[in-house]
Chain A
Amino acid sequence: MSRLGTDPILSIQDLDVKFTTSEGEVHILRQVSLDIERGSFLCIVGESGCGKSVTVHSVVQLLPENGEITGGRVLFTVDGRDQEISSMSRYGAQIRGIRGARIGMIFQDTMSSLNPAHKVGRQVAENLHQHRKISRREARELVVKMFSRLGIPDAERRVDAYPHEFSGGMRQRVMIAMAMICDPDLLIADEPTTALDVTIQAQIMELLKTLQQEAGKTVVLITHNMGLVSEVADDVAVMYLGRVVEHGSREQVLKNPQHPYTQALLQSVPFMGMDPNVPLRTIAGQTPSPASVTDGCEFAGRCPYVQDRCLTGKIAFRQAADGHVARCVLLDEDGMSECSRRDDARVEDSSGQEART
């Protein structure tokens, strides 16, 4: 179960993903459930390695060779038609008809994500040629138009430049142009600004926000930057160790976090609009390896409120009073979290004293 949505464009249901490594099979995603509302701007947050990137890669069947969807399903709904992406073959025609055309991907490292040997115009146009019958000249015109629309100056000339001739921010605009050129319904951006300056970061974010608001795109943004989340997100999903732990609107999650991990996360990073009087804190302990957690709540090992019932069985989503959901047993049936009543004690101080359970 996830937060109630009225018109999800993408519905991830109990998704399980396993990776085969030299040390054996590792369960990277466990029962990830997430409904993405059409036309919304969803931020998926969590520390690195929590599975947010794997989640969106499995949505478009672009997991690495050693990764595999082993359970659950992904439903993509456009034009009133449900398509079960998770059952499509990885490089088959069905999924390829969606990739690029219906779902645009924007990746983090633009230098390595663009082919160094081809001109950027050609790389963007490749997407057009793939999905539409279109002449070279028409494609070029569309690319130039898209470049100007996305704020790449001197677009007419720049389409003939190579990736290494662009700055990082401009390269990211090229990536966005590539994702946008076929007018997809859903844009997925995997940490698109991590490698960029703060000012450029803001520009790219603004651009994505504009695309959502004015062009009506659904945007999924993966980030570990809480500052970005507070500025652009409509909805927020928090992931920890291969699971979604909390999902709700920006207001709900940032102002009224229910899961102890979300609370800890919010107290550990500064972001716009936070109370300047509350000191920043660290989360006790280290993130365990995904292989070591098999049962119960994955945060139990670091959670200050851990109880016996946290350690075994499946922890289901519970709804908070304001309607958003979190996977925590402390969230009572009446919608009030026990832990939010014990405000001060919830996270260990950064001085490194022992966290006691």
Chain B
Amino acid sequence: MSSHTHNAASSLQPVPTPRQAGRQALRKPESSLHAYARSFLHNRNAMLGLTVIVLMVLAAVFAEQITGYSPTQMNPAQSRQPPSADHWLGTDQLGRDVFARVLHGARTSIYVGVAASLLETLLGTVLGAIAGYMRGPIDGILMRISEVVMTFPNLILVMIFVSLLGQGVNNVVLVFALSGWMTTFRLVRSEFMSLREETFVEATRSFGYSRPRIVFKHMLPNALSPIVVAFTINIAHYIIAEAGLSFLGLGVPVTTPTWGNLLSAAESSEVMKSYWWLWVAPALAIIIFVTGINFVGDGLRDVLDPKTRRTPVRKILRDNLLGKRVES
């Protein structure tokens, strides 16, 4: 019987002193990193995704040690060999080892994905935090700008930027960030809009803290969960975007192997007819990596932000109001 446990009068809880209350309020989410980690470790899909990503990143880093071939070493005698024991993924038109090129391509592709996502997140977070906290005219102007940028089909906007800035790895990163910051901006903005109404922010204001300190030291940590999730998933998005842009010949210059540049082999009908491995290898690399990232992203979302899982439609609406990227 549980009778005894229910007998205690529960109405009289000790009233916290104002000082305790303030401290509790300031440390709002008891971000027990341990609990998060444990819950993430128990998420099978997320762990699978993480394993895949780590393996692929390691393979990219140790590309030279893994394969004896150089990605640029031409060997006309060995041109267009199908996959074999010598060349695991075959060779291309110029006799270069495809496996070596996929591994080296991973370096640039993953770099572009991570760097673009990082830069976008940085840009979107700073602007979103400012807009959400300041509100008023600054918010209005930033919102209008984000709407106008979002009005453009993403890929076309990227192409226009590229034609203005010129091609190159870091230009691609810059262009992706410039054309993609709005999603994070809106996410962070709405997060800050609701955060600034909370008691602990009120408390920091009453302590007379400076605005940057309130915004970045006290509010930002509380808005971090959705930002981290968005950052992760955006990596996948930008890796696919790089592939698309390079496929069109507008991305990273063809002299640098990237997954997208390798994939553009599929543009040749000759390759399509007889040398399928040339495009299948990079395509599979992208799909596997992107799936891994998505699994990790979903896992992070489940762990960090459980409420979004339970209210799918509110999230859908939010995504839409955020202007979920229009596919182009």
Contacts and interface: CB of A to CB of B under 8 A. Distances in A.
- Assess A/B contact in the complex (Cβ within 8 A): yes
Interface of A: 284-286, 288, 292-293, 295-296, 300-302, 306, 311, 352-355, 357
B6 A293 contact: no
Contacts of A357: 3, 7
Contacts of A284: 7, 9
B2 interface: yes
A286 B10 contact: yes
25 contacts: A284-B7, A284-B9, A285-B7, A288-B2, A288-B6, A295-B1, A296-B1, A300-B1, A300-B3, A301-B1, A301-B2, A301-B3, A301-B6, A301-B7, A302-B3, A302-B6, A302-B7, A311-B1, A352-B9, A352-B11, A352-B12, A354-B7, A355-B7, A357-B3, A357-B7
B2 A292 contact: yes
A302 to B, nearest CB: 7
User: Looking at chain B's contact residues, is the secondary structure mostly helix, strand, loop, or mixed?
Assistant: loop
Interface in B1-45: 1-4, 6-12
Contacts of B11: 352
Chain A CB within 10 Å — which of B8, B9, B12 has the most? B9
Interface in B264-283: none
Contacts of A286: 6, 10
Contacts of B2: 288, 292-293, 301
A300 B12 CA distance: 23
B6 A306 contact: no
A354 B2 CA distance: 16
Chain A CB within 10 Å — which of B3, B4, B10 has the most? B3
Nearest to B4: A301
A240 to B, nearest CB: 13
Given A300-B3, A355-B7, A357-B7, 11 more contacts: A284-B9, A285-B7, A285-B8, A286-B6, A288-B6, A302-B3, A302-B7, A306-B3, A352-B11, A354-B7, A357-B3
Interface residues of B, number: 11
Contacts of A300: 1, 3
A21 to B, nearest CB: 14
Contacts of A288: 2, 6
Nearest to A351: B9
**Which 6 pairs across A and B sit closest by C-beta, in order of nearness?**
A301-B3, A352-B9, A285-B6, A292-B2, A285-B7, A301-B6
Nearest to B12: A352
Nearest to B1: A311
A357 B3 CA distance: 10
A217 to B, nearest CB: 38
Nearest to B3: A301
Nearest to A311: B1
Nearest to B9: A352
A296 B2 CA distance: 12
A22 to B, nearest CB: 11
A118 B12 CA distance: 49
A291 to B, nearest CB: 10
B200 to A, nearest CB: 29
Contacts of A301: 1-4, 6-7
A311 B3 CA distance: 10
A57 B187 CA distance: 41
Contacts of B9: 284, 352-354
Contacts of B6: 285-286, 288, 301-302
Contacts of B4: 301
A353 B1 CA distance: 22
Interface string B152-188: 0000000000000000000000000000000000000
Chain A CB within 10 Å — which of B2, B10, B11, B12 has the most? B2
A282 to B, nearest CB: 8
A301 B7 CA distance: 8
A293 B11 CA distance: 23
Contacts of A285: 6-8
A14 B7 CA distance: 30
A92 B6 CA distance: 43
A50 to B, nearest CB: 15
Contacts of B12: 352
Nearest to A353: B9
Contacts of A293: 2
A353 B8 CA distance: 9
Nearest to A296: B1
A300 to B, nearest CB: 6
A286 B3 CA distance: 10
Contacts of B8: 285
A355 B10 CA distance: 12
Contacts of B7: 284-285, 301-302, 354-355, 357
Nearest to A352: B9
Contacts of A302: 3, 6-7
Nearest to B11: A352
Nearest to B6: A285
A26 to B, nearest CB: 15
A64 to B, nearest CB: 15
A325 B6 CA distance: 27
A241 to B, nearest CB: 11
A39 to B, nearest CB: 40
Nearest to A357: B3
A254 to B, nearest CB: 27
Nearest to A292: B2
Nearest to A300: B3
Nearest to A286: B6
B280 to A, nearest CB: 42
Nearest to A350: B11
Contacts of B3: 300-302, 306, 357
A318 to B, nearest CB: 22
A236 B7 CA distance: 28
Nearest to B8: A285
A168 B10 CA distance: 35
A301 B2 CA distance: 7
Contacts of A354: 7, 9
Chain B CB within 10 Å — which of A285, A296, A311, A357 has the most? A285
B170 to A, nearest CB: 48
A234 B178 CA distance: 72
